[in-house]
Amino acid sequence: MFLSRLHLRNYRNFAEQVVEFPPQGAALVGDNGQGKTNLLEAIYYLEIFRSFRGAPDEQLVRFGEEVFRAEARLSDGLGGDRTVSAAFDRRARKKKVALNGAEPERLGDALGQVGAVIFSPSDVEIVAGGPGGRRRFLDIVLSLAQPGYLSAVQRYRQALFQRNTLLRKGSSRALVEVWDAGLVLAGSRVIAARQRWVAARADSFAAHYERVAGGQPGRLGYAPSAPEMAEAQGEAQVQEAFRGALARAADREQRRGMTLVGPHRDDLRFTTLSADGAVLELRTYGSGGQQRTGAIALRMVEAETIHEARGRQPLILLDDVFAELDPGRSQRIIDWIETEDGGQVILTSPKPTDFHVRGDTLPRWGIRDGVILQD
């Protein structure tokens, strides 16, 4: 399956655009502000039904318009086609998603149809920014890859919201505790899934980091909000540890008026080693380049995850990722793409690059003011 056709109407600065993509992908070259990121954002919108940049849907509607629509056609090259589409009405604040023209029962059922991974300069924020961005990363990847994860997150958020409302109002402990069973059940599912994913991908992350960084070590770990949860393995042990952590935090929670333990306070940890062997957090001590390398290695393990979940090569979207990397690192990313035997690649750049992707078979298109220029 590859993205064979994209149809955009009133998405950002695209008025009406139809693009036919070949199976190997395409390279888009255009000046700043012409719509390169917008195009990749639109493709990835059809994967997760929201902007990867975190923009609210209203902002995606072309200025002066009311509704945007995006549709992707995925083809297996043998005549088998599938479509996924999304539309958002700014005035009615309504989003509609369809698979092959039919609305799925739940939005979650339509997630991940494109099977894409996006590499963007803003990924550095996952490593360098606050823990919310890292939890968001985990929640998106696991929602795409694991059935049931998204609904566990949603149940957890509901229980957390109710519990926090009571804590904020200073309600009695007995009232707050009514929500504990639901919180622990859904929360442990989320924590155990995240821990399993990190454990399963840690070696691969380390290998990607080391390769891209030209030999420097890099590690990925999961940091739960309470120490006893770090020891727990599997959902049952996490539940027990979560209950224990809640009991220990009860007085503090009453004082602070909020839930202090659980997956909403967990974090991902990126580390490297100093010259004398000390463990350094990339977030606080990493250079810009090291933080970018951590983000790229993370996207690479995401690509492996999507590959396994979908049973096919992911569509790789590269948004001007080479701009801030040294040539060695850039080349090693290209080498990695080349080993992803034959998956589709769509890359953007403000200027023609010297990097040779897919044996230079990608057609090179221009883009100006929301119009794609194919020759």
Identify which of residues 18 and 323 has a Cβ nearer to ligand ATP in the complex. Answer: 323
38 appears as a binding residue in the annotation: no
- Say if residues 352 and 364 touch (Cβ distance below 8 Å): yes
CB of 373 vs ligand ATP, minimal distance in Å: 13
Give 188's DSSP letter.
Answer: H
d(CA 263, CA 184): 10
CB of 62 vs ligand ATP, minimal distance in Å: 4
25 appears as a binding residue in the annotation: no
d(CA 85, CA 73): 9
Question: Among residues 103, 105, 102, 82, which one has the least CA distance to residue 312?
Answer: 82
Binding site for ligand ATP (CB under 6 A): 12-13, 30, 32-38, 59, 61-63, 350
Question: Among residues 259, 228, 260, which one has the least CA distance to residue 244?
Answer: 228
Residues with Cβ within 8 Å of 94's Cβ and at least 6 positions away in sequence, in order, are 88
Identify which of residues 61 and 246 has a Cβ nearer to ligand ATP in the complex. Answer: 61
CB of 97 vs ligand ATP, minimal distance in Å: 20
CB of 33 vs ligand ATP, minimal distance in Å: 4
10 appears as a binding residue in the annotation: no
Residues with Cβ within 8 Å of 97's Cβ and at least 6 positions away in sequence, in order, are 49, 84, 85, 86, 103, 104, 107, 110
277 appears as a binding residue in the annotation: no
d(CA 46, CA 99): 10
257 is written with which tokens? Answer: 């008026």
CB of 59 vs ligand ATP, minimal distance in Å: 6
Identify which of residues 166 and 317 has a Cβ nearer to ligand ATP in the complex. Answer: 317
Identify which of residues 62 and 134 has a Cβ nearer to ligand ATP in the complex. Answer: 62
Identify which of residues 28 and 190 has a Cβ nearer to ligand ATP in the complex. Answer: 28
DSSP calls for 320-335: STTTTS-HHHHHHHHH
Identify which of residues 63 and 354 has a Cβ nearer to ligand ATP in the complex. Answer: 63
CB of 34 vs ligand ATP, minimal distance in Å: 4
Identify which of residues 30 and 262 has a Cβ nearer to ligand ATP in the complex. Answer: 30
32 appears as a binding residue in the annotation: yes
CA distances from residue 247 to 134, 159, 185, 226, 254 in whole angstroms, order as listed = 27, 17, 15, 12, 11
CA distances from residue 192 to 144, 195, 245, 294 in whole angstroms, order as listed = 16, 5, 15, 23
CB of 13 vs ligand ATP, minimal distance in Å: 4
Question: Among residues 271, 278, 274, which one has the least CA distance to residue 293?
Answer: 271
100 appears as a binding residue in the annotation: no
83 appears as a binding residue in the annotation: no
d(CA 359, CA 238): 48
Question: Where do the H-state alpha helices sit in the chain?
Answer: 36-48, 57-60, 124-128, 131-145, 149-168, 173-177, 180-212, 227-231, 234-256, 282-285, 288-310, 327-339
CB of 64 vs ligand ATP, minimal distance in Å: 8
276 appears as a binding residue in the annotation: no
Identify which of residues 36 and 194 has a Cβ nearer to ligand ATP in the complex. Answer: 36
Binding-site residues for ATP sit at 30-37
Binding-site residues sit at 30-37
